[in-house]
Homo-oligomer: A and B are copies of this chain.
Amino acid sequence: MARTDIARRVYNHTWKLDPIVRSLLDTDFYKLLMLQMIWGMYPKVDATFSLINRTTSVRLADEIDEQELRDQLDHARTVRFSKKEMIWLAGNTFYGRKQIFEPEFLAWLADFRLPEYELHKRDGQYELEFPGPWMYTSMWEIPALAIINELRSRAAMKSFGPFALDVLYARAKAKMWAKTERLRALPDIRISDFGTRRRHSFLWQRWCVEALKEGIGDAFTGTSNVKLAMDTDLEALGTNAHELPMVLAALAKTDEELLRSPYKVLQDWQRYYGGNLLIVLPDAFGTASFLRDAPDWVADWTGFRPDSAPPIEGGERIIKWWRDRGKNPKDKLLIFSDGLDVDTIEETYRHFRGKVRMAFGWGTNLTNDFEDCAPTETDDLNAISLVCKVTEANGRPAVKLSDNPAKATGDKREIERYLKIFGEADARVEQPVFV
């Protein structure tokens, strides 16, 4: 019985590619929910997704080798849903509902592959774009981000010897476990993993998910990562994202239509999904204007996911809005998911406990917190604020305002036009975006 598996060792030392994305389920669950709606209602719409690095001080094109990036993107394009995955999607219960995906949609999905990409370097950054039909390009968001973030981690660790790597991961594990111990102290808290896009690596995300399972037990309600949900028998979680109102707004032909687009999205959504999937994401063009103009039926939805306002202030605004419409906030759900870490989770939990149901979608600081973990100091393992946003729909510019001007995306003049139409520019609070 050999101590060294010679075949494996030789394989490890001669391989060409360690694929980052090995499954099309290695994505966020909401992408599949949105995809079914896009496929059903907007199959002819084109939407371009573009990589946006908000941490401009990090020159991605200097850190990540272009050929390695192309190899990973090309590999992701070869991946298909496997039979096992298709059977699981068809047979699993999501949010308590069987057959959430229509057979026709699944039949189409069985042949799905990621479409082409366009990659250029400019000023030390990558210009990475995914043009084409929305129902294809939408699926690039998560794998593109996961690939770039993991390639960046790998580049940062290339010079590390085995001992440095050992210390790095030991410290990251110790740090992560200390977080679970703090969270365990909060009775009835509900936390889920939303960290796929920003993860240090797939294996590290999996470890963090296992740590939450072991560490906080039932308080860990699931993961947005469909593959991890399948592999570890967790709930797959997530509802909808900014791309829906952004595309519908871009397609609007009049200012009036633009103003109504955030509610049109909700109406579309409700045709497909109900119950706990009825979560409003109110901040695409500012939560204040969204609440001001919202039809009364929006108050019947299960909850809101404030995603760019400060959590306590943003949550209080929504609670007040519910009360004004005769709703009891205790029957309602707030899902917090913006730049959370244990401090903000604790603070938000303590503030809202007993006032409203709440859940925390924990992302970057769950799956990519390596600060002070490397044995020699480096910034290269710190997470950056990298997103992949829809920038164009049917040739028209797409825009996001958000509650935090630092998170706005899109053409400057178009942003100004949106600000005029939605108004309430002063209700938006500029905050630094760390992740």
User: Is A210 part of the binding interface, using a Cβ–Cβ cutoff of 8 Å?
Assistant: yes
Asked if A429 is at the interface (CB within 8 A of a chain B CB), the reply is no
Contacts of A211 on B, CB cut-off 8 Å? 163, 167
A117 interface residue (CB < 8 Å to B):
no
Q: Write out the residue numbers on chain B whose beta carbons fall within 8 Å of the beta carbon of A8.
A: 1
| Contact residues in B for A1 (Cβ distance below 8 Å) | 5, 7-8, 11
Q: Tell yes or no: A272 within 8 A of B by CB.
A: no
Select from chain B the residue with minimum beta-carbon distance to A171.
B174
**A263 at interface, CB cutoff 8 A:** no
Q: Which of B175, B214, B375 contacts A214 (CB 8 A)?
A: B375
The reply to whether B167 and A173 form a contact with Cβ atoms under 8 Å apart is yes
Q: What range describes how many residues of A lie at the interface?
A: 20 to 34
Are the C-beta atoms of A170 and B163 separated by less than 8 Å? Answer: no
Near B by CB (< 8 A), chain A positions 1-59 give: 1, 5, 7-8, 11
CB within 8 Å for A166 and B173 given contacts A8-B1, A375-B214: yes
The distance from the CB of A374 to the nearest CB of chain B, in whole angstroms, is 11
Interface presence of A273 (CB below 8 A): no
Docked complex Cα distance between A210 and B8 (Å): 26
Q: A177 interface residue, CB < 8 Å from B?
A: yes
* Least CB separation from A7: chain B residue: B1
Question: Is A169 interfacial (CB 8 A cutoff)?
Answer: yes
In the assembled complex, the Cα of A157 lies from the Cα of B175 at a distance in Å of 21
CB contact between A375 and one of B11, B164, B169, B177 (< 8 Å): that residue? B177
A69 CB, nearest partner CB in chain B, Å: 28
Q: How far is it, in angstroms, between the C-alpha of A11 and the C-alpha of B2 when the chains are bound?
A: 12
The B-contacting residues of A in range 397-431, CB under 8 angstroms, are none
Residue on B nearest A166 in the bound complex, by CB: B173
**A214 neighbours in B (Cβ, 8 Å):** 161, 163-164, 167, 375
Interchain Cβ contacts under 8 Å between A and B, 17 examples:
A1-B7, A1-B11, A5-B5, A161-B214, A163-B210, A167-B174, A167-B177, A167-B211, A169-B170, A170-B170, A170-B171, A170-B174, A171-B173, A174-B174, A177-B375, A214-B375, A215-B375
Given A163-B211, A167-B174, 10 more A-B residue pairs with CB atoms under 8 Å apart are A1-B7, A161-B214, A163-B210, A163-B214, A164-B214, A166-B173, A167-B173, A167-B211, A169-B170, A215-B375
